Amino acid sequence: MADWRVEQLRLTAFPLKDFRDPDPNWWGKVVGSSPEIKTIQTGVGIREAGPIKNGYSNLVLDVQATRIDWLFAAAMKSGEPIKGFPTFDTVGGAYGACEALLRNWIKETTPLKRMALGTVLVLPVENRQAGYEVLMKLLPAVKLDPKGSSDFTYSINRPRSSANIRDLKINRLSRWAVAQLKGIQIQAAIPGEISVVEGPGDWSAVRVELDVNSAAERVEALPAEQQGALFQELLKLSEEIAIKGEIP
């Protein structure tokens, strides 16, 4: 499915030991510039955010004691009208940008016990029925009545063994649905009162939420020399689902 668009892309790394004083320089090392927003909460963590690559996407770095999140999302300009589902790149483009930006960081960062890659993908379609027809092709184990069905969601985990780390299970969770997005308008009918009504715009899309992650049962450190390889494996498995659909 070459037409998938990426709404969000998140890499989560779980450190072997809880942080007490996280490295405050990760953003600069990865992005090469200063964040637009930076919040430091002593004993809690660090949150940095801002646009990257000349507005390619927004990036958020959220560092807490037990996890590190790098989140890519579409950059939305204040006051700009909604023109459909907010996305920032194709699947291949977004995964490539994520890999290029974070490959050195993931190899050199603190020892990890677990890693997860979460992606939200949307595929614009004409309407709900057209979306269900697409889902029938992507979900071979499911039978759907495109004309007579509504409110369909489908979730499944298809674990696989890691190709790089012995005895490591990788979960391949996916949640499928057809989503609808409607424009809204806020109107001030009389002073002090507002009403929200449907505005121009009505969009439909097949939407899938992916969470490809190494098993939570692991308590020991991932092999340091394999952290980069595992990151690449999560990217590859996620892209496989986008291309081939829900398969064992």
Question: What pLDDT shows up at residue 22?
Answer: 67
Question: What pLDDT shows up at residue 48?
Answer: 96
DSSP conformation class of 35: -
Q: What is the CA radius of gyration of the chain?
A: 20
CA 208 from centroid of its chain's CA atoms: 10
Name the packing angle between helices 91-108 and 227-244 (round to 10°).
170
Domains contained in the chain, number: 1
Cα–Cα distance between 222 and 202 in angstroms, integer?
46
The whole-model pTM stands at 0.90
The domain of 226 spans 5-244
State yes or no: pLDDT of 72 exceeds 50: yes
Mean pLDDT over all residues of the chain? 90
Question: What pLDDT shows up at residue 190?
Answer: 47
pLDDT of 27-39, one tens digit each?
999 999 999 999 9
